[in-house]
Amino acid sequence: MSEVLIRPVQKTDIATLRQIYAYYVEKTAITFEYKVPTLPEFTERIEQITATYPYLVAVKDNVVVGFAYAASFNHREAYKWAVEVTVYLDHASRGGGIGKKLYQALEKKLKSQGIQNINACISVPATNEQAYVDYASMHFHEHLGYRLVGRFHSCGYKFDTWYDMVWMEKFIGTHPVPAPPLDKPKF
């Protein structure tokens, strides 16, 4: 079995990351985006995120097979110790532990920055059986120690279907008082 390398995103990765993401936009309700972002749009998103938070990629056999990143949970200052995390894998690479490795590395980076809470926004079926999304992502997050904190019903509409969305959270800090200063990402 080939080893998976986790490293910070590089400009040369962006087209591949966009291709990985395109599958989820076009074929799933895992993301509620309807159109694949253009390469300049996707590049701008990565640049905005990496100004403050880590953005990591997984490489297997010299091929980028996934990515994970953190972004602002809310723009208000009091939320700055909480982030939203995201992971996407090449759809053929799912189920092999790569997502877990990405999240573990991301969590380590976030903890070193002083982040206290990590949150995940996950689409799930609104009914028992729906095409385009299942409970795999929710179960993946549960396995990594996230807990369910809320569910919004029929809040996302894609592929002529309504989907639910859940929020899950994980504490990675001890919530000291006063709150710790936040560091820039260390790559």
Q: For 139-166, how does the pLDDT look when each residue is reduced to its tens digit (9 = 90+)?
A: 999 999 999 999 999 999 999 999 999 9
pLDDT in tens, 76-104: 999 999 999 999 999 887 878 999 999 99
As for how many domains the chain has, the answer is 1
What's the mean pLDDT when you consider all of the chain? 94
Range of the domain at 74: 4-171
Other beta carbons within 10 Å of 50: 16
On whether residue 87 sits in a domain, the answer given is yes
Instruction: Examine residue 51 and state whether it is found in any structural domain, yes or no.
Output: yes
- Tell me the C-alpha distance between 83 and 121, whole Å: 11
User: Which residue carries 């919530």 as its tokens?
Assistant: 175
Instruction: Using the predicted structure, report yes or no on whether residue 71 has a pLDDT greater than 70.
Output: yes
Would you say residue 14 lies in a domain? yes
pLDDT value, residue 92: 84
Would you state the structure tokens that stand for residue 112, as one six-digit string? Answer: 């070193």
The answer to whether residue 184 sits within a structural domain is no
Q: What is the CA radius of gyration of the chain?
A: 16
**What would the DSSP string read from start to end of 5-57?**
EEEE--GGGHHHHHHHHHHHHHH-SSS--SSPPPHHHHHHHHHHHHTTS-EEE
Q: Is residue 177 part of a domain?
A: no
CATH of the domain at 84: 3.40.630.30
pLDDT tens-digit map of 10-36: 999 999 999 999 999 999 999 999 999
Does residue 187 sit within a domain? no
Place of tokens 């200052």: 77
Q: What is the pLDDT of residue 96?
A: 85
184 pLDDT exceeds 90?
no
Residue 179 inside a domain? The answer is: no
Q: Is residue 186 part of a domain?
A: no
* pLDDT band with cut points at 50, 70 and 90 for residue 1: low
pLDDT at 128: 75
* Confidence category of residue 186, pLDDT binned at 50, 70, 90: low
